[in-house]
Chains A and B, each alone.
Chain A
Amino acid sequence: MHIRSVGAAALLIECPADEVEAWRAELWRRRAAGELDVAEIVPGARTVLLDGLAAPDAGLIAGWAPPPPATTSPGELVTIPTVYDGPDLATVAALWSVPIPTVIDRLTETEFRVAFCGFAPGFGYLTGLPAELAVPRLASPRTSVPAGSVGLAGPYAGIYPTSSPGGWQLVGRTSVTLFDVDRDPPALLAPGTTVRLVRA
């Protein structure tokens, strides 16, 4: 673990990818308990950013190292009914060297977790697939990907909350609303949430 300064009022905690969620949960807990005065706690792939810190004290934060990942509790479970008919299913099957039904089985059996959000409001980067199943982005991104599209890129799965350009390999779609400004919290897939992409 290493802590970097970011400007005058932020710190970036660097840690192994499998410790990010434990750090996020621990910092969330300390903020709720009034021990940490910070505007934003933003997990990344191998980092947690603390932005808008009243007192950017790296030494204090370093002393808050969370318990090992094995003991962190699973987050809330969200089940996403998914129709597996994406235009890139055959490409993914070829990359994985398995038939299409096996791709669908692997995805429906995987317990995903929202590692971090970004790209668009409510877009969660879902981890859970083994590293050897990582797939490249499309060489040429689509100009428009429909809302609800379920895709893969690198080691991640993700679901487009709104229609947007995108370069992920699309394997399916869902009719679930991922981001709703009138809901609290507005994002269905907040960091730490456990996700299952079950057959619709």
Chain B
Amino acid sequence: MIAVVRAGPLTTVQDRGRPGYAHLGVPRSGALDAPALSRANALVGNHSGAAGLETTLTGCAFRLPSGGVIAVTGAIARVRVEGVPVSLDAPVSVPAGGLVDVGRATVGVRSYVAVAGGLAVPPVLGSRSTDTLSGLGPSRLRDGDQLPLGPALGRDGLPLGQAAPGSGAAISAGSINLAVRLGPRDDWFTSAAVETLLTTAYTVSPNSNRVGARLAGAALARADAPARELPSEGVVLGAVQVPADGQPLVFLADHPTTGGYPVIAVVTDVTGLAQARPGSTVRFHGPER
């Protein structure tokens, strides 16, 4: 069990999400920075599908009444166990009753905390992830919550400290480059708008959340005037949707399954956006047309 002392503004339980239900309107959900959660799980000997915590900007604090092994990955943040600073991206032993404090992110946004055994809240449609769009899965953490842990894998699990390849992946401060493929609706936009998308810088808006990264910058003009309405169609993770105001929105894990605004391009890997702080600069590039 973990006992939440300081939940932070938005700390949720996340795993790899609940794929396979998009046709019923169920978002994929899951960790925004999926590689970071995967590394944390590997470091404590969990299977990669185990559930951990995802924090937002200011971290969280909890006690481990029975002790255990944790690992914190993702954003650069100061982590203390019983007041003693400990390393990121490494397994850390916590004594019984020990207080784990994940501090404010100094680079990046989201920290991932894995505890040996994994968080064992009841799964919903095969996943323990909190879906902030539909409300499926456990509620966001509150001070005083107690979350059950599963049995640590011990001998059957991975050896402690064996992080997945790409461990400690760099989080870029302030500026990220995202590879995109144009389409499926790039033909709804002027060629100048496509050029603008690929050549100008956008800024991550403070309104960004688990549903999507809202970007501010040069408006992307539609080729049709007056604007047609796009019949609702299925959308994918990383879709760059352009609503009527022309400001792009990149869909992240809790995105709706269908949308009615044209998607000008699709980001190949959204991990960078999961760790992009408001005000960060985003540039898109992509030879694929």
Q: Please determine whether B19 and A4 come into contact, CB atoms closer than 8 angstroms.
A: no
Q: Chain B contact residues (Cβ within 8 angstroms of A): what range?
A: 20 to 34
Of all chain B residues, which has the CB nearest A188? Answer: B24
Q: Does any Cβ of A come within 8 Å of B169's Cβ? A: no
Residues on A with beta carbons closer than 8 Å to the beta carbon of B147 = none
Known: A42-B234, A43-B234. A6 touches B258 (CB 8 A): no
Chain B residues touching A, majority SS = loop
Q: Does any Cβ of B come within 8 Å of A102's Cβ? A: no
Q: Please determine whether A7 and B23 come into contact, CB atoms closer than 8 angstroms.
A: no
Q: Please determine whether B184 and A118 come into contact, CB atoms closer than 8 angstroms.
A: no
Q: Please determine whether A121 and B25 come into contact, CB atoms closer than 8 angstroms.
A: yes
Q: Please determine whether B184 and A6 come into contact, CB atoms closer than 8 angstroms.
A: yes
Q: Does any Cβ of A come within 8 Å of B78's Cβ? A: no
Residues on A with beta carbons closer than 8 Å to the beta carbon of B20 = 39-40
Residues on B with beta carbons closer than 8 Å to the beta carbon of A122 = 24-25
Q: How far is the CB of A51 from chain B (nearest CB, A)?
A: 5
Q: How far is the CB of B286 from chain A (nearest CB, A)?
A: 10
Q: Please determine whether B181 and A5 come into contact, CB atoms closer than 8 angstroms.
A: yes
Which residues of chain A from 120 to 177 have any CB-CB distance to chain B below 8 Å in the complex? 120-123, 125, 162
Q: Please determine whether B25 and A123 come into contact, CB atoms closer than 8 angstroms.
A: yes
The answer for the CA separation of A175 and B134 in the assembled complex, in Å, is 20
Contact of A44 among B183, B233, B236, B238 (CB under 8 A): B233
The answer for the CA separation of A102 and B251 in the assembled complex, in Å, is 43
Q: Mark B117-153, 1 if CB is under 8 A from A, else 0.
A: 0000000110000000011100000000000000000
Q: Please determine whether B24 and A44 come into contact, CB atoms closer than 8 angstroms.
A: no
Q: Please determine whether B181 and A121 come into contact, CB atoms closer than 8 angstroms.
A: no
Q: Chain A contact residues (Cβ within 8 angstroms of B): what range?
A: 35 or more
Known: A39-B19, A121-B134. A6 touches B266 (CB 8 A): yes
Among B184, B239, B263, the most chain A Cβ lie within 10 Å of the Cβ of B184
Q: Does any Cβ of A come within 8 Å of B248's Cβ? A: no
Q: Does any Cβ of B come within 8 Å of A10's Cβ? A: yes
Q: Mark A33-47, 1 if CB is under 8 A from B, else 0.
A: 000000111111111
Q: Please determine whether A190 and B24 come into contact, CB atoms closer than 8 angstroms.
A: yes
Residues on A with beta carbons closer than 8 Å to the beta carbon of B181 = 5, 7-8
Q: Please determine whether B22 and A42 come into contact, CB atoms closer than 8 angstroms.
A: yes
Which residues of chain A from 8 to 66 have any CB-CB distance to chain B below 8 Å in the complex? 8-10, 12, 17, 39-49, 51-52
The answer for the CA separation of A146 and B287 in the assembled complex, in Å, is 48
Q: Please determine whether B258 and A12 come into contact, CB atoms closer than 8 angstroms.
A: no
Contact of B24 among A8, A9, A187 (CB under 8 A): A187
Q: Mark B229-243, 1 if CB is under 8 A from A, else 0.
A: 001111110110000
> Shortest 5 CB-CB distances between A and B: which pairs?
A49-B234, A7-B266, A42-B234, A118-B258, A45-B231
> Which chain A residues have a beta carbon within 8 Å of chain B's beta carbons?
4-10, 12, 17, 39-49, 51-52, 116-123, 125, 162, 179, 181, 185-187, 190-191
Q: Can you spell out 15 A-B residue pairs with CB atoms less than 8 angstroms apart? A: A7-B267, A40-B20, A40-B22, A40-B234, A43-B23, A44-B231, A45-B232, A49-B233, A51-B236, A117-B258, A118-B259, A119-B258, A123-B25, A162-B135, A186-B26
> Which chain B residues have a beta carbon within 8 Å of chain A's beta carbons?
19-26, 124-125, 134-136, 181, 183-185, 231-236, 238-239, 256-259, 263, 266-268
